[in-house]
Structure 1
């Protein structure tokens, strides 16, 4: 016998718009408090029937069933930016794109980008000076964007079309965040100044991406970058390849997802390491023992287990994405509960990653908890920084490799100490950003290695 979700215990409603005001004021605290009400918590967000899932079995059930549960309305707004890319597409469109893109993100292929990641990080460190004050979140955003643009187009972010794309992407990110704060009550087509700038930014970005695609087709050259791989990708069954529109959508998706989440994960990591000097010392000791002052390579990562644990624990406490939304595409069930078509399903990484049922001292920063035994006994649906199911982030391996290489490179030579009195506020938007950045004072702890002449020319600023 099925049960009605909306007969379950729920937080008290304090407004005519239901729980919308409470969620808007402090979403992370509100959703964390909701966990106490049970495995499924019914919510009312305006006129939209909604529920929060806190049972990992239910979370897995929803994430695995891509036909019954599609991306939620708030996330679908991103289609104006990303089109039918992997983040936003549904149904057959998504399945076909995923099949085409899968080979592009094969582990052997993305491993080739490790040297690019380290080279660009070395370039950044050459400009750092002992005692400088930096917003390290801005540094990480700039660095990861340069890396992803190099990996996609095999060109520097400061060059021509790539710079236009980067500027347009940044503007559209700010637009989306402002609209989320307004609960999307102001439509993008309404002729407000910020909406006009948003549409203009997308048009500029489209023109730049299409020009890069056109130039690549005209030259008929393979530059061993992600764009070339996407252009060469062929459906095993139909032998079809991506047209220009599909390429544009996937490139825009890669640019958004390929730098934002890694930059945020690293920013929170620097904050946590500054707050926990004993953990930072243990990390530095591993890096010194394994790397001995040299720049890391892909092969070094398997010998850096504590570095990997630091990143996993940082993404537990501060997941790059703190909230996912799904919508019931038809009348269906979650467990034994009825779910009506149109119901919004909320899944919060922030809530699950800090769940006391699965994590001892859940608010504490303890990288050592991530043993092989611990991960084996952790139920699926609890630790989901990259999502799960068929729509798990296709760039997961790329992001994990990048975060580990950048952390290992930087932490050997510099410490980042938080500026006293600077307020760091998590901002749960598309991603979990520090709203006002992360202000730190740099302390150089080792000299940068000298590179061979050939590598110096590759890594020198352009």
Structure 2
């Protein structure tokens, strides 16, 4: 510990009993942004009896997630998600987490992603067909809900070789309920036992029952089947403990499947919803995106080999993830004293690296509130610290599916740009809802307009003149 470390960073005083919990509940994004602006990159605040330390500087975040990661573990607040996520990758720790991560990692290797692109574009194509009558009739629809349907179908297909189309509405409603009720438990000063017959508890348990039924049916069908699918579920089911030779129980499989289904579709759906929201607000970016797509693809379906040439498309998605990172908050508990930003962080404290605030730190992002995909050009990114941008977390616990999410985002954006432009329904209110993930609180009510390939587009040529 450095000798000049100060005892405690500055921060808002808050209520004598509740601390800053009322502000955190009422407007979390506004509260966290304001305290960074007022107090700096390390801010102390209180949620009831808990002391928390908000981190908004890349150096401090890197120390927590990489350099001194052994000193930090998932918080008790995050453990309140255990009724829905169990001991899956998001919440497990230590050797057990390392084993599960090692078993799951091959399913997300680049070579495997290349083989998944066709399955993804097929499902995107089905969604576009479903939207065509809505475009022809100018009928408004909730694009956020449609994207959730799409990403759930993609997650089921690419990770578990499952067709979830018939269950998508039921599952989507259960996911929304589970996230909302779990978020209330995370923010509760004292979470009450789920055994108490409260309305919120009944809703949460009902949602978990729905999701459990779907997941256990998936596992049961695979155990009964005679074929071996090349997917994540097969990898997990076929693994054997090195010491005992035993495979994973259905309960263990359930926790991993539940975690990956929720993480794999909820976050990507939200990221895409925010991307389309930003595009309709910035027609010049939307037009440039379409020009690149038509220049590279014409009207053919993109494949994995096309992704390196859809560079502006990738930057659009990167910039949307900067402004609206679905995983907008990270939290860890310090196992021993540490020093962050020159301040002493006592053992047992909760540190909160905040991608949403970090991505708006003007020391690392010029005009941080503007939507500027070109800020991710190599020449503009070279001097930026690696941990100034954390849409998928960082360190050894970085999201295992980040490569899949980025590929999925590029493919969806390119295929939509070939067919539709979305416009918000006049008067529809759009604001972020900071639950476990960052989602549009009231959905995204839009109308869709069909587009056709511009006459000057070079069809299926490989012209790359849109880059720059």
SS at match of 1:381: helix
Contact 2:162 2:218 in 1 (8 A): no
Residue 311 of structure 1 pairs with residue 317 of structure 2: yes
Cα gap change, 1:189 to 1:382, in 2 (>3 Å): farther
1:107-126 correspondence runs (5 A): 107-126=110-129
Q: Which residue of 1 aligns with 2:285?
A: 279
Q: Work out the CA distance in 2 between the residues paired with 1:21 and 1:6.
A: 26
1:145 to partner: Cα distance? 0.7
Q: 2:49 is matched with which residue: 47, 69, 81?
A: 47
Q: 2:362 is matched with which residue: 356, 364, 368?
A: 356
Q: Which residue of 2 aligns with 1:268?
A: 274
Q: Which residue of 2 aligns with 1:205?
A: 211
Contact 2:81 2:186 in 1 (8 A): no
Q: Work out the CA distance in 1 between the residues paired with 2:45 and 2:187.
A: 19
Cα gap change, 1:330 to 1:431, in 2 (>3 Å): same
1:39 to partner: Cα distance? 2.9
SS at match of 1:286: helix
Cα gap change, 1:241 to 1:163, in 2 (>3 Å): farther
Residues 419-443 of structure 1: per-residue CA shift (max 9 Å, x gap): 2221101111111001001111111
SS at match of 2:421: strand
Cα gap change, 1:92 to 1:5, in 2 (>3 Å): farther
Q: Work out the CA distance in 2 between the residues paired with 1:440 and 1:216.
A: 39
Q: Which residue of 2 aligns with 1:22?
A: 23
Q: 2:384 is matched with which residue: 378, 397, 420?
A: 378
Contact 2:80 2:186 in 1 (8 A): no
Q: 2:256 is matched with which residue: 250, 269, 272?
A: 250
Q: Which residue of 1 aligns with 2:465?
A: none
Contact 1:284 1:412 in 2 (8 A): yes
Contact 1:104 1:233 in 2 (8 A): no
1:203 to partner: Cα distance? 3.6
Q: Which residue of 2 aligns with 1:155?
A: 162
Number of aligned residues = 446
Contact 2:52 2:351 in 1 (8 A): yes
Q: 2:420 is matched with which residue: 414, 433, 436?
A: 414
Q: Work out the CA distance in 1 between the residues paired with 2:46 and 2:308.
A: 47
Cα gap change, 1:5 to 1:268, in 2 (>3 Å): farther
1:239 to partner: Cα distance? 7.5
Residue 83 of structure 1 pairs with residue 100 of structure 2: no
Cα gap change, 1:228 to 1:32, in 2 (>3 Å): same
Contact 2:179 2:435 in 1 (8 A): no
1:221 to partner: Cα distance? 2.1
Q: 1:134 is matched with which residue: 133, 141, 145?
A: 141
Alignment TM-score, normalising by the size of structure 2:
0.89
Cα gap change, 1:32 to 1:154, in 2 (>3 Å): same
Q: Which residue of 1 aligns with 2:458?
A: none
Q: Which residue of 1 aligns with 2:345?
A: 339
Residue 442 of structure 1 pairs with residue 443 of structure 2: no
Relative to structure 2, which stretch is displaced further, 271-280 or 2-11? 2-11
Cα gap change, 1:437 to 1:304, in 2 (>3 Å): same
Structure 2 gaps, min length 5 = 454-468
Contact 1:5 1:339 in 2 (8 A): no
Q: Work out the CA distance in 2 between the residues paired with 1:5 and 1:45.
A: 22
Structure 1 gaps, min length 5 = 448-462
Contact 1:99 1:235 in 2 (8 A): no
Q: Work out the CA distance in 2 between the residues paired with 1:194 and 1:39.
A: 36
1:236 to partner: Cα distance? 8.3
Contact 1:67 1:91 in 2 (8 A): no
SS at match of 2:387: coil
SS at match of 2:386: coil
Q: Work out the CA distance in 1 between the residues paired with 2:237 and 2:3.
A: 48
Alignment TM-score, normalising by the size of structure 1:
0.90
SS at match of 1:401: helix
1:204 to partner: Cα distance? 4.2
Q: Which residue of 2 aligns with 1:397?
A: 403
Q: Work out the CA distance in 2 between the residues paired with 1:353 and 1:333.
A: 22
Cα gap change, 1:46 to 1:3, in 2 (>3 Å): farther
Q: Work out the CA distance in 2 between the residues paired with 1:287 and 1:426.
A: 29
Cα gap change, 1:310 to 1:114, in 2 (>3 Å): same
